[in-house]
A and B are shown apart, each in its own frame.
Chain A
Amino acid sequence: MADARSRERSLLRKALSPSHACATPLELDDLADGLLAQPAAAPLTDHVSDCARCQTELTLLKEFENAAPAPDEESAVRWISARLERRFSEASARPPPFLARHGAALPRRSVFTTLNLGGFAVAAATLAGAVMIGLREGRAPELAQPSPAAPIVLRSAGITALSPFGDLDAAPNELRWELQTEAASYSVQVMEVDHAELWSAETRDASIVLPPALRARIVPGKPLLWEVVGKDAAGRAVAWSGKQRFRIRR
């Protein structure tokens, strides 16, 4: 029985694996967008129309492009995104290993830091050094550990977006997020998935009401993005929610 199952698997895998004629994700994307130029387009179109493998790839690609968390996925996606954001910010602000204090061990699970500590830290030191050169003419560049007073603004804090997020039953009335202690005000933006801005506003609160004109443009099935950037008293960006995606169910 197990042998038969294994043989069946092997035969089907062989039949359903991508062939040399199958389209790459880039070609599939171009084909779907009508961007593939002739003469390449015609044979590829013929192939895709008969190939279950290519049709499946195209479906997956579109699912990926429009991936928005379902209600039961929202909190996990938010948690993971916030951790990635934090990890990335830590990695970019971390001093190079030869300047790091002894004992400042890296988190064991961090793939970013494990694989890219050198790159991230050197970049941070390079940026700091370049700015120092500009500000202190005539002085030799120093490979100093970035100081809090240095005029580099790297977003190091995240803002937790509360709503809207994922698939909704109706157009949201407002955008909400958690207060960020470093932020004196917030810049909010709603945009299309290609990042074309639909609406933006400033507020000092942790929520903002969407105007009727914008709500009218939130139509079923169309994903939109929003994000909030926290700014300090001088107007510099200090915290960022990341792009949040939502749409109304069809």
Chain B
Amino acid sequence: MVGWGARGQQKSCSTPAWLVVSSCDGGVLEALSDADLVSNHLAAGGSGASIWLQELFRRHYTKVVTWCLRVAGDRQEAYDLAQGVFVKAQCHLGAFRGDSKVSTWLYSITRSECLNYLKSRCPLNDALDDEVAEALPDDPESRPERVLELHSSVQAAHALLDRELTDTEKRVFVLHYGDDVPLLTITRLLGLENPSGAKAYLVSARRKLARALPRWQASEKLTA
């Protein structure tokens, strides 16, 4: 049985899966690439928790669990979330494309499950949002969304973000306003170590955008 091996090592395991089980020790399994494990699992029927699937998931527990813990911020919730990720991965393993890395594929599932979890658990505006709002001048004309109201241009908003914000500010801004990820979760996901975490980056980003907006509007008038 041979895996796709498009990216992993092309190693083969010629013994049929149902016989390997009786003699397979850790060394045999460890020698197989992720792609081989998926291939063997599917070749053995693709249902149930085969030893191939167990080994595959074992290799990725740490990153999935760490990610879920950072999203949930709670051990039990993170456990339930991680279980959901692996259940979904098992259910959809047949749709896995052999030309991608298993970790990238698992990232897609983890991301989707985590966003669904956040949507189901978190109110749209977390408490930190109010703190962010209080830290900013209350001027409707200087709000960053004003650029969208004026021009309905998504590209313009992206250009403004790209020009005015640092990389971390952009990421915090996109995750918070684009995906409704709470600021505490963003702090954990991006490993931000400053005392106020993502909140500081969001306040800074909005201040910069507020300052840049009049300049941007002026330059738009000149080019119009």
Contact = CB atoms under 8 A, between A and B. Distances in A.
B177 interface: yes
B178 A243 contact: no
Contacts of A64: 63, 67, 103, 107, 110-111
Interface residues of A, number: 84
B57 A153 contact: no
Interface string A214-238: 0000000000000001010001110
By secondary structure, the B interface counts as helix
Nearest to B148: A11
A8 B143 contact: yes
Nearest to A30: B100
B22 A67 contact: no
A192 B171 CA distance: 29
Contacts of B125: 5, 9
A55 B168 CA distance: 10
A9 B191 contact: no
Given A9-B124, A151-B22, A152-B21, A84 B83 contact: yes
Q: Which 7 A-B pairs have the closest CB atoms?
A: A123-B48, A16-B178, A92-B49, A12-B177, A130-B18, A67-B63, A15-B157
A29 B21 contact: no
B1 interface: no
A236 B22 CA distance: 10
B171 A56 contact: yes
A242 B55 CA distance: 9
Q: Which of A77, A115, A126 has the most CB of B within 10 A?
A: A77
A4 B146 CA distance: 12
B145 A53 contact: no
Interface of A: 4-9, 11-17, 19, 24-26, 29, 50-53, 55-56, 59-61, 63-70, 73, 76-77, 79-81, 83-85, 87-89, 91-92, 109-112, 115-116, 119-124, 126-127, 130-131, 134, 151-155, 187, 189, 195, 229, 231, 235-237, 240, 242-245
Nearest to B48: A123
B197 interface: no
B211 interface: no
Contacts of A29: 100-101, 104
B87 A112 contact: yes
Given A16-B173, A76-B69, A92-B49, 15 more contacts: A8-B145, A16-B178, A26-B104, A29-B100, A29-B104, A67-B66, A83-B79, A88-B54, A109-B80, A116-B90, A127-B18, A131-B18, A153-B21, A229-B26, A231-B25
A12 B48 contact: no
A156 to B, nearest CB: 11
> Which size class do B's interface residues fall under?
35 or more
Contacts of A13: 177-178, 180
Contacts of B108: 24-26
Contacts of B48: 92, 116, 119-124, 126
Nearest to B34: A195
A49 to B, nearest CB: 9
Q: Which of B30, B124, B167 has the most CB of A within 10 A?
A: B30
B47 A245 contact: no
A68 B158 CA distance: 31
A97 to B, nearest CB: 13
A52 B189 CA distance: 17
Contact of B47 (A66, A69, A119): A119
Contact of A80 (B54, B79, B158): B79
Contacts of B167: 55, 59
